[in-house]
Amino acid sequence: MATANEPPAGRSQPGTVVGGFAPALKQEGRLLLQMGIGKPSIARAMQLAQAHGTTVEDELLASGEIDETIYFEALAEMLGLDFMADIDPGRVQDIEGVDTQIARPEILRVHHASRPPVTVIVPTLDRLAGLAALLQRTPLLRSSLAVSTPSAVRDAVWRAGAKRRVSAATRALFEAAPLHSARITFWGKQGFYAGIMLCALLVAAATVPLISMLILHIVLTLFFLANFMVRLYALGCALLRESRDNTAQPALADGPLPVYSVLVALYREESVVAQLIQALDRLDWPRSRLDIKLICEEDDAATIAALKALPLAREYEIVLVPVHMPRTKPKALTYALPGVRGRYVTVYDAEDRPHPGQLREAHAAFAAAPPHVICLQAPLIITNARQSWWSALFALEYAGLFRGLLPMLSLTGLPLPLGGTSNHFRTTELKRIGGWDPYNMTEDADLGLRLHRFGYRSRIIFKPTLEEAPTERSVWLGQRTRWFKGWLQTWLVLMRRPGKLADEMGWPAFIVFQILIAGLLLSALSHPFVVGFLAYLTWLMLDDSTLTDSRLTFWLFICDIVNIAGSYAVFISLGRSRMTAREKKAVGWRWIFVPLYWLAISLAAWKALLELRTNPFSWNKTPHVPVRDQGES
């Protein structure tokens, strides 16, 4: 039996072409003619099969010219077997190995209460002659065999093992590698050390308030400055890349394309599913080599109904996740991972509009990269910057992150805290490192850092995915609170054994991790106090107070000015340097609200700190609406 990533025996292979088509394709064509399928349809399918390294059967089914149910019913009639259009999952035993049938449906045992079990098979044209000969030799087999469709077999297996699979999805990473799971917020002595530090800070604040505040101020200033310097370096790299035009993309790989899987986790997204399907339909990849899984919560009736109302092509599959805590996106992705049949897999969000050529660029980049590069991150571009100052600054932030900071980290071989969408993986390696953590609110950043510590690397590609940013304060705040909670979880998970982490990542990567995650958290939490300190000292200076004569006070004041003004400036400059003229026009003058935006970020960080203690696994859902303008802002 062929593996899930390779064509089975009988598929056309380069170098076996006879008379324009491979012999196996000609044989398929003759069989399809006998079934009454028209010559033009067969000819088109043969050409595609030759180009894609697939079968005529695959291409015909993918084209939608023949209905799957009617086709397999015809195969059953040719073999003289019963046809089973639907399979009752209650009659399927959830035994070891049954999950192989959700990736490659071929054979399934269906049990009955009052008669012997029936073996359901999914025949293919290349095996039809051998199967017919077997049935002719042993006609008694006919009573114990039936034919069904790949979709019916997959659906029955998904549902038969649903409870066991969802339980495994939530437990697998924690049981296999508990140190990498956020299921326990404070691991081992972390809670003890956190309590000791908090008590020490309170005692110091009560006994030596000036000294303790001074030390805390210096520590926070250094973290703030380090964050500023990293982004300033990213700005310099971005400007240098622009001047050298050093963004050459890898050439497209030759030969048949592999199966590519696409995962989309959906929850209460009925308003945007039509837009999503339109975007996925535009992907430039052979439909016969696509495996698109639309992952829905089992009780989300509105989204499921909206999807079933659409004319979904054969490459789409609706995967229903049983209700089980925690109700998070990474749990849904992990649940669907066993059914992934592609050599590569990517993740999109419900509101995404990926560039049609993104899969081909990712495939070419993987083909050109060494094996230890197992992840590629595409840039995310915000298209509704005009709608509000929240979305304008969100667009500015994303431009700086995905087209400035992450490319710098990639070029220098440092860990990438991934975005939550448009990351592409080698499937085998993704499964090997445990997939996503169901308990982490920023499963993307966690996964990017985890794969780096295991010796793997991430890089960036350039064809973007278009997204919409929140336009209202409440929606933005809920989303950003979830992100900060996830970054806190990620830092705590990675810092369970700091020495081991430094050895695995290397000291440069370890230091950058502290700056990017711990520095980001501390900078956000301390931002209002730094601004308040600046305002206080400015008032004292204006009042000509002698309290500002201290050199230390003076230099802290200078450092805070550099930190605050410099951070605002690099935030704006890094984002604008990567934007097109049209994007800059969409943002317009609203960059002046950056100070308010940063104060809102601080509020989200403090809310996340509270939620981490009171409700660590709640997923603040971001609502989405269809875009009014499909073009770029």
Residue 2: is its pLDDT beyond 70? no
Is 401 contained in some domain? yes
**277 vs 547 pLDDT, higher one:** 277
Kindly state whether residues 387 and 520 are assigned to the same domain: yes
Is 525 contained in some domain? yes
Kindly state whether residues 318 and 380 are assigned to the same domain: yes
Query: Would you state the pLDDT for residue 249?
Result: 63
Annotate 458-526 with three-state secondary structure. EEECCCCEEECCCCCHHHHHHHHHHHHHHHHHHHHHHCCCHHHHHHHHCHHHHHHHHHHHHHHHHHHHH
Is 247 contained in some domain? yes
Single out the residue in 156, 185, 202 at which a domain terminates. 156
Q: Tell me if residue 596 falls in helix, strand or coil.
A: helix
Kindly state whether residues 94 and 5 are assigned to the same domain: no
The 10s digit of each residue's pLDDT in 284-328 is 999 999 999 999 999 999 999 999 999 999 999 999 999 999 999
Kindly state whether residues 100 and 33 are assigned to the same domain: no
The mean-pLDDT minimum among 344-348, 510-514, 544-548 falls in 544-548
Query: Would you state the pLDDT for residue 537?
Result: 76
Kindly state whether residues 538 and 573 are assigned to the same domain: yes
Is 590 contained in some domain? yes
- Domain span at residue 39 reads 1-66
CA distance 266 to 468: 16
Kindly state whether residues 184 and 283 are assigned to the same domain: yes
What's the CATH number where 327 sits?
3.90.550.10
Mean pLDDT of the region 504-528: 92
Query: Would you state the pLDDT for residue 254?
Result: 62
Is 95 contained in some domain? yes
pTM: predicted TM-score of the whole model, two decimal places: 0.91
Kindly state whether residues 6 and 139 are assigned to the same domain: no
* 478 C-beta neighbours (distance < 10 Å), count: 19
Kindly state whether residues 180 and 140 are assigned to the same domain: no
**19 vs 476 pLDDT, higher one:** 476
Provide the mean pLDDT of the chain: 89
Q: What is the dihedral of CA 242, 244, 247, 253, to 10 degrees?
A: 160
Kindly state whether residues 261 and 235 are assigned to the same domain: yes
Query: Would you state the pLDDT for residue 35?
Result: 84
Single out the residue in 141, 156, 171 at which a domain terminates. 156
Residue 250: is its pLDDT beyond 70? no
Is 71 contained in some domain? no
Is 77 contained in some domain? no
Kindly state whether residues 415 and 542 are assigned to the same domain: yes
DSSP string, 218-261: HHHHHHHHHHHHHHHHHHHHHHHHHHHT--PPPPPPPSPPPPEE
**Based on the structure, what is the number of domains in the chain?**
3
Residue 498: is its pLDDT beyond 70? yes
Kindly state whether residues 40 and 127 are assigned to the same domain: no
Nearest CA to 257 among 51, 47, 46? Answer: 51
Mean pLDDT of the region 375-400: 96
Single out the residue in 156, 181, 212 at which a domain terminates. 156
Please, are residues 125 and 56 in contact by the beta-carbon 8 Å criterion?
yes
Kindly state whether residues 383 and 360 are assigned to the same domain: yes
The 10s digit of each residue's pLDDT in 408-424 is 999 999 999 999 899 99
Q: Name the percent of the chain lying above pLDDT 90.
A: 66
Is 75 contained in some domain? no
Residue 7: is its pLDDT beyond 50? no
